[in-house]
Structure 1
Amino acid sequence: MSGAPVARPGFGAALSSLRGNRPFQLLWFSNLFFFGGVWTQTLVLGWLAYELTGSEFLVALYTAARLAPLLLGPFAGVLADAIDRVRLLLLACGWATAAVAIVALLASTGHLSYAALVIGGLAIGLAQSPSQPARAALVLELVGRRNLSNANALNSIAMNMTQVIGPALGGGMIAVLGAPAAIWISTLWYLVSFALLLPLRRGRSAQTAPRQGASVLRMVTSGIGSILANRLALAVLLVTLAANTLLWPIFQSFMPVFADSQLGLDAAGLGALLTCAGLGGLVGSFIIAGLGDFRGKGAMFVLGTLAWALAWAAFALTEKIGPAFVLMALIGLFSAAFGVLQTTLLLMTTEPEIHGRALGVQELAIGIMPVSALVLGQVAEHVGVGATTFGAALLMAAFLVVLMLRVPGLLRFGIRGDAEG
C-alpha cells in the first residue's frame, strides 16, 4: 500500500505520493471533497449565525458548539486504533452528510433558528471528530514514513484548494442564490467524498490492533502516558494547543466580524478575504510538498508558526482593505508550516501502535478551540476583535520563544536525521 516513489526535493516531485498509489489517490480526492464541504460550511454557517444574532459572542458560541466534539479526541483516537479506519471514515462521512442535509433543509424551508443552527453545528462536529485521527493515521499506512511530509503537504494542498474555492463559492452563492444553496452543495461534496472511500475497503492489509481485552479507558490512559513521556511529541502537542487557543479561534469565529465592522466588506468580500488565506496556504503547502523528505522539519514548524503569529498581529492593526488582503495571504502561507508539520512530527515522534491515540490527543488539543472561542468572544465584546487578535497573537509569539529555549530539540529535529531530536 506504500509503493509510491520516495519524495525528493524539487517542485517536479511535489506529487510523488500520488504517483502509482491508487489508495492514496482515492483518499486524497476524498479529502478534497470533504474539506470542500467543511470550508463552505465555515463561511456560510458562520455568516448565518452573525446574520441571525448580530453578536460576536453568539457567533463564537455557535463555533464552540460545532467544535466541541473535538474534546472527545482521545476516544476518537482509540476508535482509529481499534476499528478499521476506512470503515470508520465511511461511518463519519455518512453521518456528516445527514447532519448537513438537515441544516440545509431547515434553511431552505425558512425554519432555521439560531438554536437549530447550534444543534446542527454540534451534529456536524460529532461526525467530524472521529474522522480526523483516522484520516491522518491512514495516510502513513498508505504512503510510508519517508513520504509522510510530502503526503501531508498534499493533503494540506487539498484543504487549501477548497479553502480557496469554498469560501469564494459560498460567498458568491449567498449573494446570488442564498445560503441554503451553498449548504446543499456542501452536502453533495460529502456524498462524493463518501463514494471515493468505498474502494478502499478492499485490498487493505490489516492495521496494527490493540491488545485483546484492553478497555477503552486503559487504551486512552496508556496512549496519554506514552506521549507525556515523549518530550518532543509533547512539545509538538503544546504548540498545537497554543495555536488552537490563541490563533485558530480568531479565524474560525471572527472573520465575519472583521469583514463587516473593520473592513466594511459584504459576504462576497468575506469570501474573497478567506480565499486569500487559502491561496497563501496552498502556496506554502506546495513548497513543503516539493521539499520531499527534507531536513529541518522541526525548525520549519516552530519558526513558520512564529511568523504566522506575527502576521496575525499585523492583520489586527490594519483597517485598509488592500493590506488586509495581503496579510491574509501571508497568514495562509505561514500557517502551512504549522498545519502540515504538526501531524508529520507527531507521527514521526511516536510509536505506530499509538498513532491513532496520539492523533486523538492532538484532536483534544484542537478541541480547546470552542472554550477559547467563547473567552475570546467575550473579550472582543468589550475591547473589539482587533485588540483581542493583537493580544492573542503576541501571546502566541511569546510562547514559541519560550518553547525554543526550553525544548531546543524540537527546533533541531530532523537536521541530522529524524532520530536526533
Structure 2
Amino acid sequence: MSSSSTRPIASPYASVVVDAAQSTPTQGRSAWEPLREPMFRLFWIASLASNLGTWIHEVGAGWLMTTLDATPEMVAAVRTSMALPIVFLAIPAGVLADRIDKRHLLIGTQSILLFVTAMLAVSTATGVITAWGLLAMTFVIGLGMVVHVPTWQSAIPELVPRWQISRAVGLGSISFNLARAVGPAIGGVLIALVGIWSTFAINAISFAGVLAVLLRWKRRTTEDSRGRSFLSSMRQGIRYVIWKRTMRHVMLGVVLFVLPGSALWSLMPLYAKTALGWGPSGFGILVAMIGLGAVIGASMLPRVRSRLGSDRTIACAMALYATGMLTLSFEPFWPVLLLATLLMGCGWMATLTTLNATAQITLPRRLRARGMGCYLTMMAGSMSLGSLVWGQTAGAIGMPNALMVAALAMMVTAGISLLLPLAATLDDA
C-alpha cells in the first residue's frame, strides 16, 4: 500500500522496512496464493462467515434503532457505542496480544461475542429490548471486538510467509467486502420475512464457527513480555508508531479519510428510511452496493497502485468516495444513487486496504499487535467522533446538507493526504 523505500531514521525504532520486491519470490504472485496455506484458508473462511454475520447484524442494529428511537443522534449512537471501546482500549488490547497467547485471547473474545449476540437476539425476539439496552449490548460487543480485532490481525503473519502478507491482508479485505456486498441484502430480507431478532441470531452462529476454527489452531509460537511491565510495553508500542515516519503517516491518513467518511455510515439507515422512503430491504441494497463496489475495487487495486503508486491511489480513492457522497446529498434518481454507492465502495476499500497492509508490513512482529491497536484506535476514534459530529450536524441542518459538508471536507483531506507519503512496501508486490 505505499510508495518508495524506507531508510533508518534517528530514533530508538529505526528498523528498515523490507522492500516487498526483495522479499517476494518470482513464483506464485497470484492474489489468491495465501489460500494454499491450510490454516490461513480455514481462518479466511471463518472470517468470511464472521464478516457476513457482522454485516447482517449491523443492518439489524441500525434498523432496530429506527423503530425504537428514530432521531439522527440515537441512530448514529449505535455505531458510536460500538467504536468507543476501541478508542480507549485498542492499544491496551494490543499489549495483551503481544504478551499473552493469541489463541487463548481469541477463544475468550469469541465466547463473549457469542453470548452477548445470543442475548440480543432473545431480548429482541421477546420484545424487551429498549434503545438504551441496544446501545449497552452494542457497547459490550465493542469490548469483545476491541481485543479480538488487533489479535486477529496480528496473527495473520503467523499463517503465511512474509512475502504473502500484503496478499493475505488483501484477501481479508475481499472477505470483508464480499460479506458487505451480500450481508446487508440478506439482513434486509431476514428483517422483512423473519424479524430483526434473526439478524442477531445469525451473527451468534457465525461467532460459533470462528470458535470452532480457533480450537483447531495449533500455534508454534508463544508471546513473551521480555521482562517489560504492561505500561512499559504500551509505551514501547506507542513510541514506535510516533517515531516511525511511515506509521505516523498511516495514522494521519486514517483520520483524514474516516473522519469525513463516517458521515455515510452513521446516517445511512436514517437516509434510507426518511430521505428515500425505503424499507429494510432497500437499506440492505444500498449497503450491498457499497460492498460490491469494494469487491470490484479490490480486483482493480493492484493494477491501479502499480500505475499511480500508493499515495496517489489513496488521494484518488478519497476523491472518488467524496464524489459519491456529494451525489447522495442531492437524493438522485435511484440508478444514479446506486452508481454513487458503488463508487464509494471502491474508494473505501482502496484507501483502508492500502493503509492497513502498509501498517502490517511496516510493524515488526514483536510490536505488531500494539501497532495495530494504535491503528484501530485512530480508526475507531475517527469513526466515533465522526458519527457524533455528523449525527449532530444532520439534526441541525438536515441529512442532505450534512452529507454535502462531509463530501467537501473529504475533498480537502484528499489533497492533504498527498503531503503524507508512505514507504514503498507495497507498490512492487
The TM-score, its normalising length taken from structure 2, stands at 0.88
Shift of 1:175: 1.0
What pairs with 1:18-417 in structure 2 (closer than 5 Å)? Answer: 18-19=35-36, 21-71=37-87, 72-200=89-217, 202=218, 204-207=219-222, 209-212=224-227, 214-247=228-261, 249-288=262-301, 296-368=309-381, 369-405=383-419, 407=420, 409-410=421-422, 413-414=424-425
8 Å contact from structure 1 (residues 151, 289) kept in 2: no
Deviations 1:22-57 (A, max 9, x none): 110111112111111211111111110111111111
Gaps of 5+ in 2: 1-23
Whole-angstrom distance in 1 between the partners of 2:93 and 2:175: 23
- Which deviations, in whole Å up to 9, do the C-alpha atoms of 1:144-201 show, x marking residues without a partner? 332122111111111111112211111011111111122211211111121122211x
SS across alignment from 2:111: helix
* Residues 263, 386 of structure 2: 8 Å contact kept: no
Deviates more, 1:174-183 or 1:140-149: 140-149
**Aligned partners of 1:404 and 1:70: how far apart in 2?**
27
How many pairs are equivalent?
A: 404
Q: Give CA deviations for 1:257-292 in whole Å, capped at 9, x if unaligned.
A: 111222221111111111111111112223347899
Structure 2 Cα separation of the partners of residues 415 and 129 of structure 1: 27
CA displacement, residues 52-86 of structure 1 (integer Å, 9 cap, x when unaligned): 11111111122211221111111111122112222
- Structure 1: give runs of 5+ residues left out of the alignment: none
The residue matched to 1:251 in structure 2 has which SS? helix
Q: Aligned partner of 2:282: which letter?
A: G
Work out the CA distance in 2 between the residues paired with 1:196 and 1:254: 35
Q: Is the 8 A contact 1:78 1:216 kept in 2?
A: yes
CA distance in 2, matches of 1:185, 1:417: 40
RMSD: 2.4
SS of 2:363 mapped into structure 1: coil
- CA change 1:168–1:6 in 2 (3 A) is farther
Q: Which amino acid aligns with 2:161?
A: G
Query: In 2, Cα distance between the equivalents of 1:209 and 1:299?
Result: 39
CA contact (8 A) 1:7 1:147 kept: no
Partner SS, residue 379 of structure 1? helix
**Where does residue 19 of structure 2 map in the other structure?**
none
Q: Does the 8 Å contact 1:154/1:286 carry over to 2?
A: no
Q: Return the alpha-carbon distance in structure 2 between the equivalents of residues 272 and 205 of structure 1.
A: 43
AA of the residue aligned to 1:378: Q
Equivalent-residue separation in structure 1 for 2:295 and 2:120 (angstroms): 29
Q: What is the deviation of 1:417?
A: 6.0
CA contact (8 A) 1:9 1:294 kept: no
Contact 1:74 1:361 in 2 (8 A): yes
Q: Using the aligned pairs only, state the percent identity.
A: 25
Distance in 2 of aligned mates of 1:160 and 1:149: 16
2:84 corresponds to which letter in structure 1?
Answer: A
Where 1:348 maps in the other structure, the secondary structure is helix
* Partner-residue secondary structure (3-state), 1:367: helix
